[in-house]
Chains A and B, each alone.
Chain A
Amino acid sequence: MHPAKSVIFFTTASGAGYGLIAIIIIANLFGVIAANIGFAIFSYQLLSFITAFGLITAGLLSSTFHLGQPKRALMSFSQWRTSWLSREAVMAVITYITAGVYGVYFCFSPDILSSKSVVMLIAIAALLSCVTTIYCTSMIYASLKPIHAWSNKFTPIGYLIFGLMGGVIILATILHIYDKANIMLDITVIVFSIIGLIFKLRYWSFIDHSKSISTIHSATGLGIFGKKNKDGKIAKVIMLEPPHSQNKYLLNEMGFKIARKHAKSLRLLTVILTFIAPTILFALVIIINQNILIAQIMTINALFLAAIGIFCERWLFFAEAKHTVTLYYGSHNV
C-alpha cells in the first residue's frame, strides 16, 4: 500500500496525542502527577495538554490533505453506523469535548471542578474516549479484509501500544524539562519500549510467515477447474500480460513495491530508534540520576529519535502491506 505522508503523520501524531492524554489521566489517577492549582501559563500540565491537543489537531488536519475534496470533510460524520472512518471522526469530536474539560481541570483546577467524583467521572470519560478514538483509527485499517497485513488483531493492539508509548515518552520528557522527573514514568517508558519491541517483532514474524487466504487461483478462478497437475495440485497460473502498458491508480496506490527492497534495513532502523534508543537513554537517566541538564538532553533526544522511529514504523506498516488487487497484476500470494 502506498504510504501517504499525510496519513502516516495523521496516525502517528494524533495517536501520540490521544496516548499522551490517556497517560496523563492514568498518571493523575494513580497520583504520579498532580493537577495544577490556580492559573499558571507555564505549568507543565498546560504544556503537556497543549502538546497533546496540538498533535491531535495537526494530525486530523493532516488527514484532510489526503482527501480529494477536503471541503466536504464534514459529511464524514454521517455514516458512523457502518464506517470506522466516520466513527473515528465522531469520536475525535467527542474526545475534544471530554479531554478538553479534563484539560481545564488538570491545568487550572477551577472551583467548578472541585468535586472529586465529578473529576473522576470526567477523567474516566476522557480516558475512554481517547482509547476509543485510537481504536477507531486502527479499525479503519483492521477492517480492510483485502489487506492481510492489516486485517488482524495486531493492528488495534499496535495502535494502542504505540499511541500510549508516544504519550508516555512525551510526558516523561516534559517532566524532565520542568525538573519534575518521576522515576515511575521513566520506568514506564522503558516498559512500553520493551512491550512495543516484542509486539513489533511478533507482528513482523506474523506478516512474514502468513498469507492471505486469497491467491491468484481464487482471484481468477483459473487452474482450479479442468485437469490437475501430476501431484494432484491445481495448475499453475501466471500473469501473461498486464491489462495496460502504463502505470495507473491501482498500481500506484495498492501495488507499492519500494518497501520490500528496504524492509530489512528499515525494520532495523525502527527497532533501534523507536525501542532501543529510548530504553537505553531513559535507563541511563535513571542510573545517572544526578545532572538535570544531562537528563533533559537525553530525554529530549530519546523523544526525537522515537518520533523518527515511529514514523519509520508507520511507513513500513503501509508499505509492507499487500493488497489482493496485486493478484491480478502478477502476485501469486498476498
Chain B
Amino acid sequence: MTSIPPPSSTKKLGLVIDLDICVGCHACAVNCNEWNTGGHSAPLTDKNPYGKDPIGVWFNRIHSFEISYDNDDNNQGQTVHFPKSCLHCEDAPCVTVCPTGASYKRAEDGIVLINADRCIGCKLCSWACPYGAREFDDDAGVMKKCTLCIDRIYNENLPQAERKPVCVSTCPANARHFGDLGDVNSDISKLVAKRDGYALMPEQGCKPVNRYLPPRAMKYTGAPKKLKHMGGDIGLISRMINKFMPTSESK
C-alpha cells in the first residue's frame, strides 16, 4: 500500500553526512555501486561502461559546490563536497504518488524501498522526489533507489561492525554516519544536535530523515596568495620579459 504507514516504532534509520569532513573522494559512491549491483536491487544498469557515453544507475552521487563571500578580502572561496543519496523521508512523496504500491515505506524503521515486482516503470516517483534520489533502470524497466543497505544492516551473516550501509563503512574520512535518528539519545542524534545538523529543502515538506552537518567557515591562514619569486638566476631575457611585458594574469 502506498499510503505512508503509521510507524510501528520510533525508529527512523538514516544517514548523517558531515560536509566539514567529506573530501570528495567518491569512495562511498563507488562502493555503493559495487555492493548494490549484487544486492537487494541488483543488478544496476551499466550501459556502455567502457564506451564514449557510459550511463547507468547509481544510488549515491557526490556533488561539489563552492561558497563565496563578496566581502572576503582574502577572496577565499570554500569548496564543499556534497554526497547525496535517498533521504528516506517521513512524508515521502515518491511513495504516495506510486499507482501500484511498488514504492513503500517500512513501518518498522522508515526505510523507503521499491518492490521491483510491482513497479510498472511510470517514473512518477522520480518526478515527485525533489532530491533526485531515484534513477530509472531501463534494462529492467523499473525504478531503483538507495536501500540504506537493508541487505547489510540486518544481515546476520556479517560481523556486527559491518552491519551498516556500505557508504558509511567505506568512507576513509569518517564523514558518513548511520543510526537511528528517531532516538534522541542515539550517537548520531547527539552528533546532529551538537553540530546543528540540518535537513535539505525542508520547504518541500517531505520531512527527510537524513541530516547534513554544515562545514565550518574557513579561517584565513595568512599564507600569501601569490608566491613571490625567490631570486636566483633566471637569465636576462626572462627577467626583461617578466618586467616589461604586460601580464594577462588577473590581480
CA distance A197 to B174 in the complex (A): 57
Task: Say how far A82's CB is from chain B's closest CB, in angstroms.
Answer: 4
Residue from A78, A214, A253, A329 within 8 A of B126 (CB atoms): A253
CA distance A234 to B205 in the complex (A): 22
Q: Are A236 and B124 in contact (CB under 8 A)?
A: no
The answer, yes or no, to whether A144 is at the interface (CB within 8 Å) is: yes
A219/B200 contact (C-beta < 8 A), A82-B96, A83-B96, A328-B84 known: yes
The answer, yes or no, to whether B99 is at the interface (CB within 8 Å) is: yes
Residues of A within 8 A of B68 (CB): 235-236, 238
Chain A: CB-nearest residue to B131: A325
Q: Are A238 and B66 in contact (CB under 8 A)?
A: yes
Residues of B within 8 A of A77 (CB): 99
Residues of B within 8 A of A78 (CB): 99-101
Instruction: Identify the stretch in A68-76, A168-176, A198-206 within 8 Å (CB) of chain B at 4 or more residues.
Output: A68-76
Interface residues of chain B: helix, strand, loop or mixed (majority): loop
Task: Say how far A257's CB is from chain B's closest CB, in angstroms.
Answer: 16
Q: Are B136 and A244 in contact (CB under 8 A)?
A: no
Q: Are B127 and A69 in contact (CB under 8 A)?
A: no
A69/B98 contact (C-beta < 8 A), A249-B55, A325-B132 known: no
Q: Are A225 and B196 in contact (CB under 8 A)?
A: yes
Residue from B82, B101, B198 within 8 A of A75 (CB atoms): B101
A325/B63 contact (C-beta < 8 A), A79-B2, A240-B79 known: no
Instruction: Identify the stretch in A84-92, A100-108, A110-118, A283-291 within 8 Å (CB) of chain B at 4 or more residues.
Output: A84-92
Task: Say how far A113's CB is from chain B's closest CB, in angstroms.
Answer: 34
A214/B118 contact (C-beta < 8 A), A238-B66, A246-B55, A325-B131 known: no
Which of A214, A247, A325 gathers most chain B CB within 10 Å? Answer: A325
Q: Are B70 and A229 in contact (CB under 8 A)?
A: yes
The answer, yes or no, to whether A242 is at the interface (CB within 8 Å) is: yes
Residues of B within 8 A of A226 (CB): 67, 214-217
Q: Which of A198-235 contact B (CB under 8 A)?
A: 213-214, 216, 218-223, 225-230, 235
Residue from A147, A249, A328 within 8 A of B63 (CB atoms): A328
Chain A: CB-nearest residue to B83: A243
Which of B119, B201, B202, B212 gathers most chain A CB within 10 Å? Answer: B201
The answer, yes or no, to whether A273 is at the interface (CB within 8 Å) is: no
A249/B135 contact (C-beta < 8 A), A235-B69, A239-B65 known: yes
The answer, yes or no, to whether A323 is at the interface (CB within 8 Å) is: yes
Chain B: CB-nearest residue to A329: B63
Instruction: Identify the stretch in B137-145, B162-170, B241-249 within 8 Å (CB) of chain A at 4 or more residues.
Output: B137-145
Q: Are A82 and B97 in contact (CB under 8 A)?
A: yes
Residues of A within 8 A of B123 (CB): 66, 68, 253
CA distance A68 to B139 in the complex (A): 9
The number of residue pairs between A and B whose CB atoms lie closer than 8 Å in the complex comes to 212
The answer, yes or no, to whether B121 is at the interface (CB within 8 Å) is: yes
The answer, yes or no, to whether B61 is at the interface (CB within 8 Å) is: yes
Q: Are B101 and A85 in contact (CB under 8 A)?
A: no
CA distance A242 to B29 in the complex (A): 14
Interface size class of B (residues with CB under 8 A): 35 or more
CA distance A84 to B70 in the complex (A): 46
Interface size class of A (residues with CB under 8 A): 35 or more
Q: Are B70 and A246 in contact (CB under 8 A)?
A: no
Which of B68, B132, B199 gathers most chain A CB within 10 Å? Answer: B132
Residues of A within 8 A of B141 (CB): 67-69
Q: Which of B62-87 contact A (CB under 8 A)?
A: 62-71, 79-80, 82, 84
Task: Say how far A325's CB is from chain B's closest CB, in angstroms.
Answer: 3
The answer, yes or no, to whether B153 is at the interface (CB within 8 Å) is: no
Q: Are A237 and B99 in contact (CB under 8 A)?
A: no
Residue from B65, B100, B138 within 8 A of A220 (CB atoms): B65
Residues of A within 8 A of B127 (CB): 1, 144, 146-147, 253-254, 323
CA distance A232 to B100 in the complex (A): 48
Q: Are A75 and B217 in contact (CB under 8 A)?
A: no
Q: Are A146 and B120 in contact (CB under 8 A)?
A: no
Chain A: CB-nearest residue to B128: A144
Chain A: CB-nearest residue to B205: A145
A218/B132 contact (C-beta < 8 A), A68-B119, A76-B99, A76-B120 known: no
- List 26 contacting pairs A-B, 8 Å CB cutoff, sorted by A: A68-B137, A72-B120, A76-B122, A77-B99, A79-B100, A79-B101, A82-B95, A82-B97, A140-B124, A145-B128, A214-B204, A218-B202, A221-B212, A222-B19, A222-B67, A225-B196, A235-B69, A236-B69, A236-B70, A240-B64, A241-B64, A242-B64, A243-B29, A254-B126, A254-B132, A323-B130
In the complex, given contacts A79-B99, A83-B99, A253-B126, what are 20 additional A-B residue pairs having Cβ atoms less than 8 angstroms apart? A66-B123, A67-B121, A68-B119, A68-B123, A78-B101, A83-B124, A143-B97, A144-B93, A144-B97, A144-B127, A144-B128, A145-B93, A146-B128, A220-B63, A222-B67, A226-B214, A229-B70, A236-B68, A241-B63, A246-B54
- Show the binding face of B for A, using Cβ within 8 Å: 1-3, 19, 29, 53-58, 61-71, 79-80, 82, 84, 93, 95-102, 118-124, 126-132, 135-138, 140-143, 196, 198-205, 212, 214-217
Closest 3 A-B residue pairs measured CB to CB?
A: A68-B121, A68-B141, A325-B132
